[in-house]
Amino acid sequence: MLFGDKIKELRNLAEMSQQELANKTGLSLRSIQNYESNQRYPKDVAILNKLCIALSTTIEELMKEEDNFIQEAATKYGTRGKKDAKILVEELGGLFAGGELNEADKDKVFRAITEMYWKAKDNNKKYTPKKYIEDTDK
C-alpha cells in the first residue's frame, strides 16, 4: 500500500474528512489531497509527525520500506526516478505475493534489488547528457 493510500485509510478509520485532517494538522486541504492521491509526499519529518499524531499512528507504520525507497528515488532523481521506483515496487510486490520466500529472505531480496537499482541509476546518470537530467534542486 502506498503512502497516500495509508493516509486515506487511516483518515477514514478515524471518521475524519480531508478538511478535518487538514485543520488538525495545520496543513492545507490541497496538501492532504495531494498526499492521498500519491502525487506528493511530505518533505520533512515535522509534517509526518503532525500526520501521525492526527491519525494515531507511528512514522514507521506510515512509511514502510517501499515508501521510503520511492521517496528517496523522487528526492534523488525527480519525477522519472519516482515513477521507475513505483513500477519496480509494484512488480516486485507481485513476485513476493505468492512466493515461498520467508520474510527475512524477502527483505534481503528487496534490499539487494534496491541496491542494484541505485547503482544502475548512478551509472546511467554518468552517461546521460546534462540537458536530459532533471534538476532535483528545484
Structure confidence by residue, pLDDT tens digits, 3-15: 888 899 999 999 9
The mean pLDDT of the chain is 81
Q: Which three cell numbers stand for residue 81?
A: 526516478
Q: Which residue's C-alpha cell is 485509510?
A: 9
- Indicate the pTM of the whole model: 0.51
Residue 79 has pLDDT above 50, yes or no: yes
Instruction: Please tell me the predicted confidence (pLDDT) of residue 97.
Output: 60
Task: State the burial class of residue 6 (Cβ atoms within 10 Å of its Cβ: 0-12, 13-18, 19+).
Answer: buried
Instruction: Please tell me the predicted confidence (pLDDT) of residue 71.
Output: 75
SS3 for 48-104, per residue?
HHHHHHHHCCCHHHHCCHHHHHHHHHHHHHHHHHHHHHHHHHHHHHHHHHCCCCCHH
Instruction: Please tell me the predicted confidence (pLDDT) of residue 93.
Output: 65
User: Is 24 in a helix, a strand, or coil?
Assistant: helix
Residue 138 has pLDDT above 50, yes or no: no
Average pLDDT (89-97) is 66
For the chain, how far is it from start to end, CA to CA, in angstroms?
Answer: 28
Separation between Cα atoms, residue 48 and residue 62, nearest integer Å: 8
Using one digit for the tens of pLDDT, what is the confidence trace for 24-59? 999 999 999 999 998 887 877 788 889 999 999 987
**Is the four-CA dihedral 127, 117, 73, 78 of positive or negative sign?**
positive
- Higher pLDDT, residue 108 or 28: 28
Q: Which three cell numbers stand for residue 10?
A: 487511516
Separation between Cα atoms, residue 53 and residue 21, nearest integer Å: 11
Percent over 90 (pLDDT), the chain:
27
| All domains of the chain in start order, with CATH | 3-62 (1.10.260.40), 65-132 (no CATH)
